[in-house]
């Protein structure tokens, strides 16, 4: 298959095979100092969770050492990590937020 353009140049049509961008998990890591209530606030404010879901994720962080906050494209995940880290430092908590490829 080819297409003729007015300038005499033929361009071959090739099917585009677009793949979705890779997703990254944003995770909160457990520590011995950040209050559980603060973690719930972070999950509600930055990840749009309702109170019940935020509590479930917070308990997972507390009992298993880490919990998934969401899956995002790389730029959005990096922004979320930065926002959570800045917010935690502003409130003098050592809460760690990281991202890893899914």
Exposure string of 3-20, with b = 16+ CB inside 10 Å and e = fewer, is eeeeeeeeeeeeeeeeee
Q: What is the mean pLDDT of residues 76-80?
A: 98
Which pLDDT belongs to residue 3? 53
Is residue 1 in a domain?
no
Average pLDDT, the chain: 92
- Please name which of 38, 82, 78 lies closest in space to residue 58, comparing C-alpha atoms: 38
Segments forming the whole domain that contains residue 28: 23-101
Q: What is the mean pLDDT of residues 36-44?
A: 98
Which pLDDT belongs to residue 13? 74
**CATH number of the domain to which 56 belongs:** 3.30.1390.10
Which pLDDT belongs to residue 14? 73
User: Would residue 8 be called left, alpha or beta, if left means φ above 0 and alpha means ψ between -120 and 50 degrees?
Assistant: left
Between 1 and 78, whose confidence is greater?
A: 78
Q: How many domains does the chain have?
A: 1
Which pLDDT belongs to residue 16? 84
Is residue 4 in a domain?
no
């Amino acid at each position: 298959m080819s297409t003729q353009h007015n300038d005499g140049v033929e361009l071959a049509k090739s099917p585009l095979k677009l793949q979705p961008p890779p997703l990254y998990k944003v995770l909160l890591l457990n520590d011995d100092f950040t209050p559980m209530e603060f973690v719930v606030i972070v999950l509600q404010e930055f990840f749009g969770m309702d109170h019940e879901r935020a509590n479930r994720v917070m308990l997972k962080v507390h009992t298993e050492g880490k919990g998934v906050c969401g899956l995002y494209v790389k730029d959005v995940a990096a922004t979320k990590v930065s926002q959570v880290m800045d917010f935690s430092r502003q409130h003098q908590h050592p809460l760690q937020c990281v991202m890893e490829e899914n």
